[in-house]
Amino acid sequence: MKVWWWENDDSALSTAWSTAIEIFEEEHPGVTVEFELKTYEQMQQSGQLILDSNEAPDVLEYLKGNATAGVVSNAGLLTDLTDVAEERGWDLDNTAQDVGLYENGLMGSGKRYGVTNYGEYVSVWYNADAFAEHGLDAPTTLDELESVMQTFVDNGITPLALGSADYPGPHLLYTLALAEMNDESLSAYQQFTGDVDWQAWEDAATRMADWVAKGYISPDSTGIPAQDAGNAFVAGQYPLFYSGTWWAGSFVTDITDFTYDQFLFPANDLHPGSGGNLWVVPEKAKNKDLAYDFIETTMRAEVQNELGDLGGVPVAADTDGVTTDIGQLTITRFNELLESTEGGLAWYPDWPVAGLNDILVQNVTDLVQANTTPTQAVENIKTAYDQGKADAGF
């Protein structure tokens, strides 16, 4: 049986999935798992060509979203798992699993084409020692957050590590927009159910430009990718870092000389985050039953608990079985977001249409550099959004 994923060898997911392979091989004597490590870029750029070929694996990690799994499910390249999930009694009854549902290529409802093992959300990581040193507490409102950042600026410290040459810039802009959005306007943006609240985006862009002007964000951030921003936080150069739970595992290992913690973006009901990427079974897979068995194996408590202990955010862990502090923190918070009746996980800003991430990054970098006005930046994003929506036939 052929299995592909792109997670790095030292990541929580890769470790847990390797355990899943061991269990699977033990329980399937005579079946050899042929594992191939791919890269995220390979799957993003040529995934659909692979799925359309006879070389497709039996089960693979694939990108969630309208522009990726949505496109290939709509083209009939993925196996419909709706009945399989029912027959096998898979417990997929939480909203993290919505990323595996697609209808006419649109994510969030419809038939099941994928299953996710993990979740993720974006929050503010902070250097608790630096906060204590300046007599600061974790903020609970946007005003308090700005006051915290101002305190650092007054002490000659740029507070927010931001890699705006990469996804963290759009994530910050999106969360500032989410501050003014509700479930209805979120649905309008992500699922085309109504008019998008572009005013919320413009207010967010205005605030972000203001943060640059006040020194909360360095204009140099436009030359800094996400990894560099994370490294700078780890090195203690910035007290705040707004990014996702995918950093948790490396923070556990790498941050040794200060205490760190996280808080959700103050006063927001909605936060960027979702179920993770998907296990999918190509329509052309040759060993579908084995693929289903493998997906089942990855959802078992022992695999999920290992994922949780390593700082991943499992979706089917036995909470008592996760023993590490980081695992307890992220799982508890993720479950709160999942069960939230108001707000919760707001997916990601680039999901609605293909290619939006590039446009978001372009306009955030221009915004941070003051090369464009907030109005113009949002106008550019809106134009790309509308164009992408029309291209996709919505």
Partner 1 sequence: MTQLSIEPAAARRVRRERPAGYYWYIVPGAAGFIAIVLLPFAMNIWYSLTRWSGVGTPQFIGLDNYTRLFVDQTFWASFLHSAAFIVAMAIIPTAFGVFIAAVLFDYISPRFGTRIASFLRATFYLPQILPIAVAGVLWSWMYQPQYGIINTILRGVGLGDLAQNWLGDSDFAIYAVMNVLIWLQIGYTVVIFMAGLSRVDPALHEAAELDGAGWFQRFRAITLNQLRPEIAVVVITTSVAALKVFAPIFVLTGGGPGTATIVPAYFSFTNFFTTNRVGYGAAIATVLAVLVTVIAVVLLRYQTRNTEGFEK
The reply on whether position 369 binds partner 1 by CB under 8 A is yes
What is the maximum alpha-carbon separation in the chain? Answer: 66
Of 31, 37, 49, 132, which one interacts with partner 1 (CB under 8 A)?
49
Of 1, 13, 77, 381, which one interacts with partner 1 (CB under 8 A)?
77
Q: Report the nearest approach of partner 1 to the CB of residue 132 (Å).
A: 25
Say whether 294 sits in a helix, a strand or coil: helix
Number of residues located near partner 1, criterion CB under 8 A: 37
367-381 in b/e form (b: 16+ CB < 10 A) is bbbeebebeebbbbb
Q: Report the nearest approach of partner 1 to the CB of residue 354 (Å).
A: 4
Specify the DSSP element, H or E, that contains 306: helix 301-309
Specify the DSSP element, H or E, that contains 152: helix 142-154
State the Cα angle at 356 between 164 and 372, rounded to 5°: 55
DSSP string, 153-220: HHTT---EE--TTSTHHHHHHHHHHHTT--HHHHHHHHH-SS---HHHHHHHHHHHHHHHHTTSS-GG
Instruction: Tokens for 301, please give them.
Output: 């408590």
Of 79, 252, 363, 381, which one interacts with partner 1 (CB under 8 A)?
363
Q: Which is nearer to partner 1, 74 or 127 (CB)?
A: 74
Provide the edge-to-edge strand list for the sheet that holds 111-112: 106-107, 101-103, 111-112
Of 31, 75, 132, 213, which one interacts with partner 1 (CB under 8 A)?
75
Q: Report the nearest approach of partner 1 to the CB of residue 390 (Å).
A: 10
Q: Which of residues 154-193 bind partner 1 (CB under 8 A)?
A: 165
Of 24, 357, 374, 385, which one interacts with partner 1 (CB under 8 A)?
357
DSSP string, 12-36: HHHHHHHHHHHHHHHHSTTPPPEEE
Q: Report the nearest approach of partner 1 to the CB of residue 39 (Å).
A: 12
User: Do residues 287 and 34 touch, judged by C-beta distance below 8 A?
Assistant: no
Q: Report the nearest approach of partner 1 to the CB of residue 37 (Å).
A: 18
CA pair distance 5, 20, nearest whole angstrom: 13
Of 81, 354, 360, 381, which one interacts with partner 1 (CB under 8 A)?
354
CA pair distance 190, 108, nearest whole angstrom: 9
Of 313, 361, 378, 381, which one interacts with partner 1 (CB under 8 A)?
361
CA pair distance 15, 307, nearest whole angstrom: 8
The reply on whether position 366 binds partner 1 by CB under 8 A is yes
The reply on whether position 79 binds partner 1 by CB under 8 A is no
Q: Report the nearest approach of partner 1 to the CB of residue 169 (Å).
A: 10
Q: Which of residues 234-293 bind partner 1 (CB under 8 A)?
A: 237
The reply on whether position 50 binds partner 1 by CB under 8 A is no
Q: Which of residues 197-236 bind partner 1 (CB under 8 A)?
A: 219-224, 228, 232
Say whether 268 sits in a helix, a strand or coil: coil
Q: Which is nearer to partner 1, 75 or 267 (CB)?
A: 75
The reply on whether position 48 binds partner 1 by CB under 8 A is yes
DSSP structure class, residue 101? E
Of 16, 50, 56, 67, which one interacts with partner 1 (CB under 8 A)?
67
Q: Which residues bind partner 1 (CB under 8 A)?
A: 44-46, 48-49, 52, 67, 71-72, 74-75, 77, 165, 219-224, 228, 232, 237, 354-355, 357-358, 361-363, 365-366, 369, 371-372, 388, 391-392
